[in-house]
């Protein structure tokens, strides 16, 4: 990055725009995630009630999660909770914000859709 910023990331790799968008150690994915989460939650307060950022989820009682990436500890959290999102004023909806870099390096042959693999989309469940 030269005069605008550091030449190397704290992970040891050369620091550039591409790296800053992708590196979970010294890049900006967490900052971008939190900013998007907060803006989305703020907008939801205009149409929903009971909007909460990172509320603790109910503790599991023997349920098994299909995905190995599921956080099953007692302090598991969701990014946003909103009541009334689906129209029912008593139904709660839960949202997970995912931020990723759609500008892959030229050396990568994967298509941008591969970056979304594992993102299941919106799931509507009744609580």
Average pLDDT over residues 89-109: 75
81 burial level (CB within 10 Å; 0-12, 13-18, 19+):
buried
Helices (H), the chain: 17-22, 29-44, 112-115
Task: Enumerate the β-bridge partners of residue 49.
Answer: 83
Ordered by start, the domain boundaries in the chain are: 2-115
pLDDT digits (tens, 9 = 90+) for 9-19: 888 888 888 88
Encode pLDDT of 27-70 as tens digits.
788 888 899 999 999 999 999 999 999 998 888 888 888 877 77
**Of 24, 114, 21, 127, which is closest to residue 78 (Cα–Cα)?**
127
Is-above-0.75 flag for pTM? no
């Amino acid at each position: 990055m030269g005069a605008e910023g550091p030449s190397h990331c704290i992970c040891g790799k050369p620091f550039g725009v591409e790296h800053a968008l992708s590196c979970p150690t010294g890049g900006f994915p967490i900052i971008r995630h939190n900013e998007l989460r907060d803006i989305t939650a703020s907008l939801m307060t205009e149409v929903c009630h009971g909007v909460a950022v990172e509320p603790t989820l109910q503790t599991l009682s023997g349920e098994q999660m299909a995905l190995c990436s599921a956080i099953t500890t007692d302090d598991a959290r969701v990014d946003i909770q909103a009541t009334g999102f689906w129209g029912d004023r008593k139904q709660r909806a839960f949202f997970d914000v995912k931020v990723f870099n759609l500008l892959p390096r030229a050396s990568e042959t994967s298509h941008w859709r591969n970056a979304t693999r594992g993102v299941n989309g919106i799931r509507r469940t009744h609580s």
